[in-house]
Structure 1
Amino acid sequence: MFRRTFWFTAGAAAGVWATTKVHSKLRRLTPESLAAQAADKAVDAGHRLRDFALDVRAGMAQRESELGEVLGLDAPADPELPAQRRLAVEGRAERRYDEHGDEYRNHDHSDRFNSRTPHNRNEDH
């Protein structure tokens, strides 16, 4: 009799346990639950991506300061050095500049360009 009671109780407990597991799996597969899981994973991925970007930015700043120290870019300017000169291009006529240091234009591009801005050949057209 005790043997039958033991096995009946063990079977009932196994049935309750299995039923609970199946119901929990089914709840996780509902559309609302899947959407919540996807949102949680997206938020987690966003946090990891932000942390990565901050690490990269910190590494860039550190490397930039190291390069600045090695190349002497952070050092104060030496007052004994002459001022930087403008290089003249050979074969061009002497240029005239207005009061703002901008070049006067003899050709008519006023409709395409701002007359106060010198023409830059590297700009997108």
Structure 2
Amino acid sequence: MFKKVDRQAVRKRKQLSIRNKISGTAERPRLSVYRSNDNIFAQLIDDVNGTTLVTASTIDKEIKSDVKHGGNVESAVLVGKAIAERATAKGITNIVFDRSGYVYTGRIAALAEAAREAGLKF
């Protein structure tokens, strides 16, 4: 008899492993990404002080008016551009990317590439 793999538990284990290796500072914050079926969220976090510096998601008013569905690659690109623009407005250009245990493909890769193209370095 086969046991069903608990994908959420596997992702949580990967996420904890990644968080043990990387940490954000005020000069180089951590870009943390969370995706659900309907939306995608990104935030820049200073782990030293425990504060969130910049956020962007598909439920923001500016982005929500441009997307039909928040759970696709096109909306991830818009969130990546938005987080990069808001970060550069605050003077942040160098970051550490935290994919939160998700595989670097699809929406996660699209968000990262859009943030790179908009001026973030990681």
TM-score per shorter chain, which class? under 0.3
Higher relative contact order (CA 8 A, sep 6+): 2
The normalised TM-score by structure 2 is 0.23
Name the structure with the higher helix share: 1
Name the structure with the higher strand share: 2
Structure having the higher Rg: 1
